[in-house]
């Protein structure tokens, strides 16, 4: 796997749908099937990318992560304002700051290998520590999770 780009990101305004889940009770497909068809209802959208966000509790420690660990998963798009939020959606502020940006190549089903490299190899051997902000992925407008040639940016908060 290639080295990440280190990026300073501004805070971003998002409109999102949220679902509580764990790796053992994974409901990502249902979340996106409910969100993508309704993106046209979102006003003031910036760009055509999608954001897939993992939001962990404030007291969460990555060392305690298990397949049953619950977290909030958000499907989102970036917007310039929160003037009109569709029903069953919410505004969400994605914190700015320093991120290590990795590229995951391949289907979503192979993401565990990328995740293991980031958390078990890269972070422990880097000069950075994991920061307490959301990890997220940026998916292009034509992203398909089953595509063997799919690419997604994996944004890991660091300090």
Structure tokens given for 13: 């305004």
Structure tokens at 113: 């290998």
Question: Which range, of 28-37, 108-117, 146-155, averages the lowest pLDDT?
Answer: 108-117
Domain total of the chain: 1
* Band of residue 158 on the pLDDT scale cut at 50, 70, 90: very high
Q: What is the CATH number of the domain that holds 35?
A: 3.20.80.10
Q: Is the pLDDT of residue 107 over 80?
A: yes
Selection from 77, 76, 95 nearest residue 135 by Cα: 95
Tell me the C-alpha distance between 136 and 49, whole Å: 12
Domain span at 67: 5-157
Q: How many helices (H) and strands (E) are present in the chain, helices listed first?
A: 3, 8
CA dist 149 and 9 (Å) reads: 26
């Amino acid at each position: 796997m290639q080295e990440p780009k280190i990026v300073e990101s501004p805070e971003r305004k998002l409109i999102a749908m949220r679902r509580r889940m764990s790796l053992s009770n994974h409901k990502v497909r249902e979340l996106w099937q409910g969100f993508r068809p309704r993106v046209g209802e979102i006003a003031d959208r910036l760009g055509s990318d999608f954001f897939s966000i993992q939001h962990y509790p404030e007291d969460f420690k990555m060392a305690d992560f298990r397949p049953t660990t619950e977290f909030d998963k958000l499907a989102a798009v970036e917007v310039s304002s929160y003037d009109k939020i569709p029903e069953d959606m919410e505004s969400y502020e994605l914190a700015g700051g320093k991120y290590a940006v990795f590229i995951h190549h391949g289907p979503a089903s192979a993401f565990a290998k990328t995740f293991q490299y980031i958390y078990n190899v890269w972070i422990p051997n880097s000069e950075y520590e994991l920061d307490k902000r959301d990890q997220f992925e940026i998916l292009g407008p034509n992203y398909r999770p089953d595509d063997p040639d799919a690419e997604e940016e994996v944004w890991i908060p660091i300090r």
